[in-house]
Homo-oligomer: A and B are copies of this chain.
Amino acid sequence: MTITLKDIARRVNRSVTTVSRALHDYDDVNEETRELVKRTARELGYMPNVVAQRLQKRRADTLGLILSTSGPRLSDPHFGEVLAGVSDEVAQVGFDLLISISDPSLDELELYRQKISGRRVDGVLVVRTRCHDERVEFLLRHNVPFVAYGRTLDGRDFPYVDVDHAAGMRASVQHLSDLGHRRIGFVTGSPDFTLVHYQMEGFRQAMTACALPADESLVVEADLTQRGGYGAGQALFSQSDPPTAIVTSNDLMALGVMSAAQDQGLDVGRDIAVSGFDDIPLAETSHPTLTTVRQPAHRLGQLLGHMLVGLARGEPLSEQHVLIQPSLIIRQSTDLDLWL
């Protein structure tokens, strides 16, 4: 049997109204009754029925995150860390985080529609944006509070947090150029992803700035996974004039590239330089350790969570657009003689 306000009211001989107001520290209830109410509530083990609260308040105190099966999975370490940041942050202010993995049979937007119009969530998080992103369009059109992890390219205005992938990539290429590399390969994800688009932009900018020849055959596209990186690496190494250095769209791919290199008998860090993006924990303990562009994943998640909670509460956002500058972490995979 579960305890309700009515039970407490009956017990202390007050109305439900008074009990509710006492528990919420309204100032129109006598000090004594307030104490009495609170004590009995504790004694009876009263816990408010949040569903009823939500119905009355017309708020869900819940934030939604929809993962499409094609997007990043929970097993992507960088993404997991961002998510942990979001969760930490929103939990602190009493919000729940609702995670849906979109059934492949169901249209992803339909899922948004359900969750949102069904009042299940009062704000959503969009992850890994695409250059033109239908989810963003949908959410804007339906006036749903949301924050995106990543920008889009079609000039719509919406709140986002993003990392300056172009700058990160420029730093990587610059570093490799400084080491004397002239044939630099790029193992990349689909250019539909905004992050890949900007990385590509940074890559080309830096190649030009360093006066390096642009060779399109050195740009290989694959899945943003280790397996994808492995395949792309194999493709690059089997070319007649293979690159001496490779940058990648994320660390998982970089690890895959390193595997492919090692399988070819190459000594990563000496025969071939590899540089990643993200700085997942594995980057620090791989062999050789991985040079990469660090994104403050956890802090980034916290920021996303913070903004989203604000939006969901209808507060104005102090910063609509946040662009975080990543930093290059140089390790052995680009310079094996570098010992820590």
A296 at the interface (CB under 8 A from B): no
A275 to B227, CA, bound (A): 21
B55 touches A113 (CB 8 A): no
Q: Which residues of B contact A84 (CB under 8 A)?
A: 73-75, 101
A317 to chain B, nearest CB (A): 24
Contacts of A83 in B (CB 8 A): 74
B contact residues around A294 at 8 Å (CB)? none
How distant is A144 from chain B, measured CB to nearest CB, in Å?
Answer: 12
* CA gap between A47 and B101 in the complex, in Å: 20
B-contacting residues, A71-122, CB 8 Å: 73-77, 80-81, 83-84, 87-88, 91-92, 96-103, 113-114, 117-120
- CB of A294 to closest CB in B, whole Å: 15
Complex interface: chain B residues within 8 A of A330 (CB): none
* A255-B77 Cα distance, complex, nearest whole Å: 15
User: Which residue of the partner chain, among B2, B51, B54, B75, contacts A281 with CB atoms under 8 Å?
Assistant: B75
As for how many copies of this chain the complex holds, the number is: 2
B-facing mask of A286-301, CB < 8 A → 1, else 0?
1100000000000000
A48 part of interface (Cβ distance < 8 Å): yes
Contact at A91–B101, with CB atoms within 8 Å?
Answer: yes
Q: In the complex the two chains form, is A47's CB within 8 Å of B262's CB?
A: no
A256 interface residue per 8 A CB criterion: yes
Cβ–Cβ contact A119 & B49, under 8 A: yes
Q: Does chain B have a CB within 8 A of A149?
A: no
Write the nearest CB–CB distance from A112 to chain B, whole angstroms: 11
CB-CB nearest in chain B for A49:
B119
A60 contacts B by Cβ under 8 Å: yes
Contact for A97 among B100, B282, B287, CB less than 8 A? B100
By Cβ-Cβ distance, the 10 closest A-B pairs, closest first, are A47-B117, A75-B80, A74-B80, A87-B101, A50-B118, A75-B77, A259-B285, A51-B55, A51-B54, A262-B287
Instruction: Knowing that A88-B101, A97-B100 touch, tell me 12 more A-B residue pairs with CB under 8 angstroms.
Output: A2-B119, A51-B51, A51-B120, A74-B80, A75-B80, A77-B77, A87-B99, A88-B103, A91-B103, A225-B281, A227-B285, A262-B287
Interface residues in chain A, defined as those with a beta carbon under 8 Å from any beta carbon in chain B: 2, 45, 47-52, 54-55, 60, 73-77, 80-81, 83-84, 87-88, 91-92, 96-103, 113-114, 117-120, 225-227, 230, 255-256, 258-259, 262, 280-282, 285-287
